[in-house]
């Protein structure tokens, strides 16, 4: 086992801390020449010496400890005392002897984490054992974040029946006709018949919370963005035919919030609480572009019709338009005074809709970021946007007790569908004739654009205990 990994050339023996920060380049140069015979021997020796004992893995055993115990103060957002441990490269710069001292010292001023229980002895022992075993880095890129390298295991199964209702945070219609609806669950996606409100299927091995479901053009796969708050975030690509896992993308330490296929289905845009937007090639799943222009969570991402641009909405109260080919930001829109929850291009691609926590729906020019029209200004936030019925309209769902379709040309309300407050999910069928919304109490309402106002179906989209 040790040999095969050695051959892959992926294992690195940790060096003593260097006085200078180690950049990418110096790692590359260090890797080849200094990982010569000596290192190889070292690896072999350590491997043999500890052959009996299960090796301690940095990525599986130590990274979660550093992530949970240290990163909030010594990471990319804050680097108290100038120390960071959010990547292996940073951690080795601090030095594992120093880390060990900080976790074990009796000096009240030096002990880490401060103002908390000590790190448990068995976790300290893992560090010690790993150091004895030669400080081997068993992931690929020493500059990768801890969240990225921690191996993802299979998610726990969802509860057979739910003890309590949970909010519906994501919905997607499967197929064009609006008869079948995918809904977010707890560690699962459930599929429902909108005709009679019955549960058709449960897709497991998914993150705890699901913030967004997007069906790939062609309908064979779905991209699911989610995670567990302050624990992990990811985008999972799932094969709809058998529910099998295709790929895990955008691994981070807090929720992923949205993932959208381009209209051709060749690329996937993802975004999340780490403030980044990433573009993946859907055949190789390689990251082809990344944008880190937002200073806070990126709540939503949307493509234009020809797949050349994306628009993003962020908790930093801005929306931004990016060109995928050049990797450049085209505009930044800052007329909102609240977290921008939802963004969408209009049918021409020249304009953007953006909706925010302060209850505004704004319509603006993608190129210049100039406001064309304030379509809505309401008391409650707007969470979701979609296009239903006519291409010149936008449909909104949010804090208000109704779902509305607005004509962007004059701001008039084309249709208003009665619901309750707290609509957290919105979906429109492929044929644009059926609308579904999900709310904070787990209820899904289905509307037909032909029969306005009243819901044609209403059901709890959760496998609940029947009282």
Which residues sit at the interface with another protein, rule CB under 8 A? 67-73, 78, 113-117, 159, 162-167, 169, 186, 208-209, 211, 228-231, 255, 315, 383, 422, 424, 440
CB 329 within 8 A of CB 297: no
Residue with Cβ nearer another protein (129 or 231): 231
Residue with Cβ nearer another protein (113 or 265): 113
Residue with Cβ nearer another protein (7 or 164): 164
Smallest separation, CB 321 to another protein (Å): 24
Smallest separation, CB 166 to another protein (Å): 5
- Strands 309-314 and 319-323 turn out to be antiparallel
For the sheet containing 256-261, what is the strand order? 256-261, 267-272, 277-281, 287-291
Residue with Cβ nearer another protein (166 or 460): 166
DSSP letter for each residue of 182-244: EEE-SSSEEEEETTT--EEEEE-S--SEEEEEEEPTTSSEEEEEEEETTTEEEEEEEETTT--
Smallest separation, CB 440 to another protein (Å): 6
Smallest separation, CB 65 to another protein (Å): 11
Report in angstroms the alpha-carbon separations of 80 from 66, 72, 167, 435.
15, 9, 37, 49
CA nearest neighbour of 62 among 178, 146, 148 = 146
Residue with Cβ nearer another protein (134 or 272): 272
Residue with Cβ nearer another protein (131 or 440): 440
- Radius of gyration, alpha carbons of the chain: 25
Distance CA 300, CA 236 (A): 16
Estimate to the nearest angstrom the gap between the alpha carbon of 301 and the chain centroid: 11
Smallest separation, CB 439 to another protein (Å): 11
Smallest separation, CB 115 to another protein (Å): 3
């Amino acid at each position: 086992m040790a040999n095969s990994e050695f051959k892959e050339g992926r294992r690195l023996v940790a060096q003593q801390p260097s006085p200078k920060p180690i950049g990418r380049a110096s790692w590359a140069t260090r890797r080849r020449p200094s990982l010569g015979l000596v290192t190889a021997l070292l690896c072999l020796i350590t491997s043999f010496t500890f052959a009996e004992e299960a090796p301690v893995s940095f990525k599986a055993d130590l990274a979660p400890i550093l992530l949970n115990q240290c990163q909030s103060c010594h990471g990319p957002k804050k680097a108290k005392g100038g120390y960071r441990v959010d990547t292996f490269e940073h951690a080795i710069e601090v030095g594992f002897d120093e880390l060990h001292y900080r976790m074990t010292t009796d000096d009240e001023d030096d002990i880490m984490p401060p103002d908390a229980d000590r790190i448990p002895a068995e976790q300290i022992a893992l560090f010690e054992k790993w150091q004895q075993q030669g400080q081997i880095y068993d992931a690929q890129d020493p500059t990768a974040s801890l969240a990225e390298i921690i191996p993802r295991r299979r998610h726990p199964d969802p509860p057979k029946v739910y003890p309590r209702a949970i909010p519906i945070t994501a919905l997607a219609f499967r197929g064009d006709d609006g008869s079948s609806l995918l809904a977010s669950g707890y560690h699962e996606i459930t599929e429902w018949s909108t005709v009679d409100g019955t549960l058709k299927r449960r897709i497991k091995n998914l993150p705890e919370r699901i913030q967004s479901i997007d069906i790939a053009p062609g309908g064979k796969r779905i991209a699911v963005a989610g995670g567990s708050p302050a624990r992990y975030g990811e985008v999972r690509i799932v094969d709809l035919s058998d529910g099998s896992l295709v790929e895990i993308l955008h691994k981070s330490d807090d929720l992923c919030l949205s993932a959208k296929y381009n209209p051709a289905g060749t690329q996937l845009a993802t975004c999340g609480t780490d403030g980044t937007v990433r573009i993946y090639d859907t055949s190789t799943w390689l990251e082809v572009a990344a944008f880190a222009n937002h200073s806070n969570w990126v709540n939503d991402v949307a493509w234009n019709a020809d797949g050349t641009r994306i628009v993003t909405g962020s908790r930093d109260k801005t929306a931004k338009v990016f060109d995928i080919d050049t990797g450049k930001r085209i505009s930044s829109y800052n007329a909102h005074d609240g977290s921008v929850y939802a963004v969408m291009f209009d049918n021409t691609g020249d304009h953007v809709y953006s909706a925010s926590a302060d209850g505004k729906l704004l319509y603006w020019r993608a190129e210049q970021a100039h406001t064309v029209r304030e379509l809505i200004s309401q008391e409650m936030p707007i969470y979701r946007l979609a296009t239903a019925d006519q291409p010149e309209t936008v449909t909104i769902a949010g804090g208000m007790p109704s779902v509305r379709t607005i004509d962007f040309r004059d701001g008039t309300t084309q249709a208003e569908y009665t619901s309750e407050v707290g609509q957290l999910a919105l979906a429109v069928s492929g044929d644009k004739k059926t609308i579904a919304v999900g709310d904070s109490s787990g209820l899904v309402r289905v509307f037909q654009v032909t029969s306005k106002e009243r819901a044609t179906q209403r059901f709890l989209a959760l496998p609940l205990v029947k009282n």
